Structure 1
Amino acid sequence: MAQILAPTSQWQMRVPKASSSSGSLTTKMWGSLLFRQNKKGIAKGSVSFKVLAQNSNSTVNRIEDLLNLDLKPYTDKIIAEYIWIGGSGIDLRSKSRTISKPVEHPSELPKWNYDGSSTGQAPGEDSEVILYPQAIYKDPFRGGNNILVICDAYTPQGEPIPTNKRHRAAQIFSNQKVIDEIPWYGIEQEYTLLQTDVKWPLGWPVGGYPGPQGPYYCGAGADKSFGRDISDAHYKACLFAGINISGTNGEVMPGQWEYQVGPSVGIEAGDDIWCSRYILERITEQAGVVLSLDPKPIEGDWNGAGCHTNYSTKSMREDGGFEVIKKAILNLSLRHKEHISAYGEGNERRLTGKHETASIDSFSWGVANRGCSIRVGRDTEKNGKGYLEDRRPASNMDPYVVTGLLAESTILWEPTLEAEALAAQKLALKV
């Protein structure tokens, strides 16, 4: 993200009131997707594609007519898709239920349960896990008044299960000191699109490599951009859902993309990212492409995938905020190991000091330096206030963990005076 702007006035609303439109994403949009390789007659080092044309009388289109039925004239009932995080801490699960009427707030929804033994979150002899609805979004797939519901998971006794990271984040964001600072987040989610059968990046020759990095970042053209339809469909679907997605672009490695969510306030940032990931999973499912959040999907001289997190507090955004930012950087340097351990699996393969990353073993900061742990923008330095960018989180990070840690380390945690002085000297910070 270039900068963190003021959040919209709707950030607390989640779901706009039902409109007369019943629009949703349909399978027609995939008729022109160029994503499946024609394996016959492929010259070495080149890629050929075919268009997936659909006959208007096909079974697919007859099913599509049913999928796009507008229920509003016939019933007040809606479909709620309950979404939660599975046992790996990164996989998303969901199931549907009928709700008697449209809702506007999670408190109007019932709790539900699922078989935790089938998701790696409970033993078979005591497998019931309870879903608590926490945030709702409009459903871009079913349209109408139907909704997506972000949930977190608890035992029947009301204790958060180990993979429920939202619970701890909510505690941090409900602390009055944090509330008073109104923490804003802008999260840059990078991801890689893979071919289904070979799990090789989209647009790459099977078993081979494209030309070196350089022309692909924000590039256009059939030889530079692979998966634009998916990125654009995801962009519109997130806007439809009510997610504050702020932009998207092709990334440095071909077949890799990025979208930005924010500014989001507090716990909303984690909810928005998880919902946006779910929507992306569903779109790639329809497109027949595999979504990867691996922080280093291809070894060698290729960029990895991160989830850079832009962050500011009220004090940072006000006059004199640059000194507050430097104090926050000092705190982050002292808790570097704690943050790194929570910033995503496999991140050591990405944070090597190369390909626009800092080394995982050391902490650094700089103005306009993308090779540092923490980057401060030129405008922030010039204006004496603004935000910082934490470039350490991996693409598969848990946004509840990262956003909560940033708030905890910079607002709630206080180092000893001795540690603060030593860190300031090491980082050449005057706080």
Structure 2
Amino acid sequence: MAQILAPSTQCQTRITKTSPFATPISSKMWSSLVMKQNKKVARSATFRAMAINSGTINRVEDLLNLDITPFTDSIIAEYIWIGGTGIDVRSKSRTISKPVEHPSELPKWNYDGSSTGQAPGEDTEVILYPQAIFKDPFRGGNNILVICDAYTTQGEPIPTNKRYKAAQIFRNPKVEAEIPWFGIEQEYTLLQTNVKWPLGWPVGGYPGPQGPYYCGAGADKSFGRDISDAHYKACLYAGINISGTNAEVMPGQWEYQVGPSVGTEAADHIWASRYILERITEQAGVVLSLDPKPIEGDWNGAGCHTNYSTKSMREDGGFEVIKKAILNLSLRHKVHMEAYGEGNERRLTGKHETASIDTFSWGIGKRGCSIRVGRETEKNGKGYLEDRRPASNMDPYVVTALLAESTLLWEPTLEAEALAAQKLALKV
């Protein structure tokens, strides 16, 4: 991801009031996303169109696009949370009596945790705490998406609530003083619905070797651009700090970047953007995969590279601070690897622009390292580092908090620091 000079001024906990004339992205726009390459999906869509008369379809579309703003003060809030696998997003809708600007204006809610793998059958109730608000690109108007975290009825964070610990770390005065910025590069793969094979690939076969697909254009090179573009606009509409997007090295694989954002805002925005992408692919009849190595063999995996800097790194002399951070990260490599995503060992092989999961490394401008430092950072003597180890299915609350903890709060012994500095050829 290209370096961005400053984070968004948008606060994660507020939204701008929406014009009463704002409209959602219409269902007709979403319908254009159905991929021609997936013949089974196309045949299914044709069958449905024949089975339901066009008048009924039009009436449903009219209701989906209905602007309720002139007729009621009520809004629809879509409460979103992370399920028991740590990667699945769940949601349900609630009517709120009037528009809101801050999560504190929203009521807590509950759900059946036994149905999401987050509570035992004899005590199923889990409580949702609203934490961040985004405009709803599907319903439009004053309707909102609400990122929540989950607690027991006694007010204790449940084990899968990673946001709670992250918020504690980012509230630490030492961390707050360093104003940590994060720019997260989310890679994902689009799969055909019935065969779970990448979009644009011949069923049971393979496309030509990697090379022409990265940032490519053309019907034989780009598969799923409409989904990527629709997601881009929907995120901007929602107020997500999305900064760019591009086709990736493996055909059918895409990337978007979020940030730079400060503290927990970075992860809130990633989770909101993932939810929106799930909804778009749902409507397009395509399966979203965050598997770090969706296709075995000579194909790139999917990562979630995380760009990171602190106030001290961004100021004059910051390169020495970056090197000290790299030293700390090298000493906690195993801790990070255990937290950077399920199945990451299938991706971090030392091939396809990755480092080995077993060995920590760093380099200037090198994409085959654990940590990459850009040429511009070296030239300016200040800037940011890129952690290339996180998998595409990583939890951004875990990764961002761990980076801050390892580089700002954790202190190695002098002996360990000296040995690591010698091994990595770092002068700190």
What is the TM-score of this pair, normalised by structure 2?
Answer: 0.96
User: Within 5 Å, which residues of 2 pair with 1:310-329?
Assistant: 310-329=307-326
1:248 maps onto 2:271 in alignment? no
Contact 2:20–2:142 (8 Å) recurs in 1: no
**In the alignment, which residue of structure 2 is the partner of 1:18?**
18
Letter in 2 for 1:192: T
- Deviation string for 1:339-396 (max 9, x for gaps)? 0000000000000000000000000000000000000000000000000000000000
1:206 maps onto 2:203 in alignment? yes
**In the alignment, which residue of structure 2 is the partner of 1:156?**
153
**In the alignment, which residue of structure 2 is the partner of 1:291?**
288
Distance 1:50 1:367, change over 3 A: farther
- Deviation string for 1:77-130 (max 9, x for gaps)? 000000000010000000000001000000000000000000011011100000
User: Within 5 Å, which residues of 2 pair with 1:156-235?
Assistant: 156-235=153-232
Letter in 2 for 1:25: I
**In the alignment, which residue of structure 1 is the partner of 2:6?**
6
User: Within 5 Å, which residues of 2 pair with 1:353-368?
Assistant: 353-368=350-365
- Deviation string for 1:271-327 (max 9, x for gaps)? 000000000000000000000000000000000000000000000000000000000
The 2-side partners of 1:334 and 1:282 are apart by 40
User: Within 5 Å, which residues of 2 pair with 1:76-95?
Assistant: 76-95=73-92
**In the alignment, which residue of structure 2 is the partner of 1:44?**
none
The 1-side partners of 2:112 and 2:373 are apart by 45
Letter in 2 for 1:7: P
Letter in 2 for 1:30: W
**In the alignment, which residue of structure 2 is the partner of 1:109?**
106
Letter in 2 for 1:154: Y
Q: Pick from 289, 300, 322: which aligns with 2:297? A: 300
Q: CA deviation at 1:183?
A: 0.3
- Deviation string for 1:185-235 (max 9, x for gaps)? 000000000000000000000000000000000000000000000000000
The 2-side partners of 1:22 and 1:38 are apart by 33
Q: CA deviation at 1:34?
A: 4.9
Q: Pick from 229, 232, 239: which aligns with 2:236? A: 239
The 2-side partners of 1:370 and 1:282 are apart by 32
The 1-side partners of 2:310 and 2:286 are apart by 38
The 2-side partners of 1:419 and 1:70 are apart by 62
Q: Pick from 338, 355, 369: which aligns with 1:341? A: 338
**In the alignment, which residue of structure 1 is the partner of 2:367?**
370
Distance 1:272 1:373, change over 3 A: same
Contact 2:179–2:310 (8 Å) recurs in 1: yes
**In the alignment, which residue of structure 1 is the partner of 2:408?**
411
What is the TM-score of this pair, normalised by structure 1?
Answer: 0.96
Distance 1:49 1:367, change over 3 A: farther
Letter in 2 for 1:22: A
Q: CA deviation at 1:32?
A: 3.2
Q: CA deviation at 1:33?
A: 3.1
The 2-side partners of 1:360 and 1:285 are apart by 33
**In the alignment, which residue of structure 2 is the partner of 1:389?**
386
SS of match in other structure, 2:10: coil
Q: CA deviation at 1:64?
A: 1.1
**In the alignment, which residue of structure 2 is the partner of 1:423?**
420
Distance 1:212 1:14, change over 3 A: farther
SS of match in other structure, 2:404: helix
How many percent of aligned residue pairs carry the same amino acid? 85
The 2-side partners of 1:12 and 1:361 are apart by 36
The 2-side partners of 1:33 and 1:396 are apart by 24
The 1-side partners of 2:27 and 2:160 are apart by 33
Structure 2: which 5+ residue stretches go unaligned? none
**In the alignment, which residue of structure 2 is the partner of 1:277?**
274
SS of match in other structure, 1:381: helix
Q: CA deviation at 1:71?
A: 1.0
The 2-side partners of 1:32 and 1:280 are apart by 15
Q: CA deviation at 1:13?
A: 5.5
The 1-side partners of 2:351 and 2:344 are apart by 13
Letter in 2 for 1:200: W
User: Within 5 Å, which residues of 2 pair with 1:139-150?
Assistant: 139-150=136-147
SS of match in other structure, 1:153: strand
Structure 1: which 5+ residue stretches go unaligned? 41-47
Q: CA deviation at 1:4?
A: 3.1
SS of match in other structure, 1:125: coil
Contact 1:89–1:398 (8 Å) recurs in 2: yes
Letter in 2 for 1:331: N
SS of match in other structure, 1:33: coil
The 2-side partners of 1:362 and 1:344 are apart by 17
Q: CA deviation at 1:2?
A: 1.2
Q: CA deviation at 1:15?
A: 1.3
